[in-house]
Amino acid sequence: MKDYLIALEEIIEEQRQRIKRMEESSPLDLTLVPTIIVGIIPGDGIGPFIMDHTKKVLDHLLKEEIEEGKIEFRNIEGLTIENRAKEGKGLPPSCLNEIKKCHVLLKGPTETPDARANVMNIESANVALRRELDLFANVRPVTIPQKNIDWIFFRENTEGEYVLGSKGIELEGMALDFKVTTDRGTERICEAAFKYAKAKGNLKVSIVTKANIMKKTDGKFLKICYEVAQHYPSVPADDWYVDIMAANLLNPNRQSEYQVILTPNLYGDILTDEAAQLQGGVGTAGSGNIGDRYAMFEAIHGSAPRMVKMGRGKYANPSSLLKAAEMMLNHIGMTDKADKLKAALDETAKAMKMTGKGDGNTGEDYVTMVLSKI
Ligand code: IPM
Ligand code: MG
């Protein structure tokens, strides 16, 4: 058999195994866990800067819970670009081992070198973590009250273009990448979105695909979304192609029509950056990566290595990671603490001018104000 056919066989078998694991997985009830272990991963570039600020706020907010042993923060070492490049792995096994001993993770951005980089072309740590911990729902809220925008994206986080992103095939004169959509992988993200929409008083769910072109994969996604919708008759649902959705999200006459936005992986990646930009930039958005067993909360932006090289790390806006921390507090059931943090963040955001350079406020200014408002 030709090499590429053998590779394809392997890929399909791997996906079958993944489907089996998805079907066997069952959720962990965090309310039954006596000490919730929160793994702290600072990341690269501006990551350690914004993590220091965020950790300070969490230590203050959770002082009692830490003392009572209800929460333990644990530093995860070695998930840095230097160490990952040295080991030649996007996610070194020793890091993954430590990470798996935690319940939830708070993560700063990690650098993903592309094919042009001088370091080895390793896999994205994000993609590896999402896959290894099976964090299937990427939940990204974007709110702009003055424009009546209150969106929450449910982005499928483990399949689509990402699952085989590092396993494309190159043949003479051509390159092929693969996109994978499974029944179970789609059902579980749809269930998460519809369940959320129902719990929040029957918000509308807007499904985003390009099912007119990606007929098999997006076709399946769209079909399964509407099947799941049938179990939630009180939740309104509609669907859009991703191109017009990208336009509508920018259209002032349509923006407030949307509430829950349910999307496959890559479209969700792109639309959430667009949405975050409307909110004030990618530095302002937090995100949750939720699975049955683990959950990881992070900023949606990259590590901005250029900013650090130019000595501007101290001007990095920590609000993305602070918002991720707020989502984490909600996830572990500490909703009163999350509300307190949210109120402090909303007030601080109004007062601070974060330009990322010397003409604006520093991360330190930001966090000092957040702490004063809690
Ligand atoms: C995101 C990021 C990641 C993604 C990168 C860092 C792999 O852009 O979380 O949106 O593409 O998902
Ligand atoms: Mg992205």
Q: What pLDDT sits at residue 120?
A: 65
Range of the domain at 30: 24-135+291-374
Q: What's the half-sphere exposure (Cβ side, CA atoms, 13 Å) at 24?
A: 6
| Other CB atoms within 10 A of residue 320 CB | 26
Write down the pLDDT at residue 119.
60
Asked, for residue 2, whether it belongs to a domain, the answer is no
Pocket of ligand 1 (CB under 6 A): 112, 124, 126-127, 269, 300
Q: Are residues 67 and 91 in the same domain?
A: yes
Confirm whether pTM is higher than 0.85.
Answer: yes
Looking only at the bridges linking them, the beta strands covering 174-176 and 169-171 are antiparallel
Neighbours of 131 (CB within 10 A): 20
- Tell me the CATH number at 62: 3.40.718.10
Whether residue 97 is contained in a domain is answered as: yes
Question: Of 284, 310, 333, which marks where a domain is finished?
Answer: 284
213 shares its domain with 191: yes
Q: How far is CA 349 from CA 60, 109, 285, 370, in A?
A: 19, 21, 12, 9
352 and 246 within one domain: no
Task: Pick the residue whose CA is nearest to atom 4 on ligand 1.
Answer: 269
Q: What is the pLDDT of residue 135?
A: 98
Looking at ligand 1, which residue's alpha carbon is closest to its atom 12?
A: 269
- Indicate which atom in ligand 1 lies nearest the CA of residue 268: 10
- Three-state SS for 318-332 is CHHHHHHHHHHHHHC
Answer with the one of 263, 284, 305 that is the final residue of a domain: 284
Nearest CA to ligand 1 atom 10: 269
Q: Which long-range contacts (CB under 8 A, 24 or more apart) does 25-29 make?
A: 25/134, 25/291, 25/292, 25/293, 26/292, 27/292, 27/293, 28/103, 28/292, 28/293
If asked whether residues 277 and 308 sit together in one domain, one would say: no
Q: Which ligand is nearest to the CA of 129?
A: 1
Residue 3 lies in a domain: no
Does 279 lie in the same domain as 176? yes
Is 17 within a domain? no
Query: Distance between CA atoms of 222 and 343, rounded to whole angstroms?
Result: 37
* 54 contacts 318 by C-beta, under 8 angstroms: yes
Nearest ligand 1 atom, CA 112? 6
Q: Would residue 15 count as lying in a domain? A: no
Same domain, 211 and 341: no
Residues 165 and 253 in one domain: yes
- The atom number, within ligand 1, closest to the CA of 127 reads 7
Of 227, 255, 284, at which residue does a domain stop? 284
Same domain, 101 and 172: no
How far away, in angstroms, is 314 Cα from ligand 2 center? 23
74 and 185 together in one domain: no
CA of 233 to the centre of ligand 2 (A): 32
**Domain count within the chain:** 2
Residue at 18 is within a domain: no
Kindly state whether residue 1 falls inside one of the protein's structural domains. Answer: no
**Beta pairing class for 295-299 and 104-107:** parallel
pLDDT in tens, the chain (374 residues): 888 899 899 999 999 999 999 999 999 999 999 999 999 999 999 999 999 999 999 999 999 999 999 999 999 999 999 999 899 899 999 999 999 999 999 999 999 877 666 666 788 899 899 999 999 999 999 999 999 999 999 999 999 999 988 789 999 999 999 999 999 999 999 999 999 999 999 999 999 999 999 999 999 999 999 999 999 999 999 999 999 999 999 999 999 999 999 999 999 999 999 999 999 888 888 999 999 999 999 988 899 999 999 999 999 999 999 999 999 999 999 999 999 999 999 999 999 999 999 999 999 999 999 999 99
156 and 279 co-located in one domain? yes
Atom of ligand 1 nearest to the CA of 272: 10
CA of 112 to the centre of ligand 1 (A): 9
237 and 169 within one domain: yes
3-state secondary structure the chain: CCHHHHHHHHHHHHHHHHHHHHHHCCCCCHHHCCCEEEEEECCCCCHHHHHHHHHHHHHHHCHHHHHCCCEEEEECCCCCHHHHHHHCCCCCHHHHHHHCCCCEEEECCCCCCCCCCCCCCCCCHHHHHHHHCCCCEEEEEEEEHHHCEEEEEEEECCCECCCCCCCCEEECCEEECCCECCHHHHHHHHHHHHHHHHHCCCCCEEEEECCCCCCCHHHHHHHHHHHHHCCCCCCCEEEEEHHHHHHHCCCCCCHHHCCEEEECHHHHHHHHHHHHHHHCCHHHCEEEEECCCCEEEEECCCCCHHHHHCCCHHHCCCHHHHHHHHHHHHHCCCHHHHHHHHHHHHHHHHHCCCCCCCCCCCHHHHHHHHHHHC
Give the pLDDT confidence score for residue 300 in this predicted structure. 85
Residue 34 CA, ligand 1 centroid: distance in Å: 32
| Residue 13: inside a domain | no
Strand partners, 170: 175
**Which ligand neighbours the alpha carbon of 127 most closely?**
1
Do 144 and 183 fall within a single domain?
A: yes
In angstroms, the CA 156 to CA 263 distance is 6
Nearest CA to ligand 1 atom 1: 300
Backbone angles phi, psi at 316, to 5 degrees: -65, 140
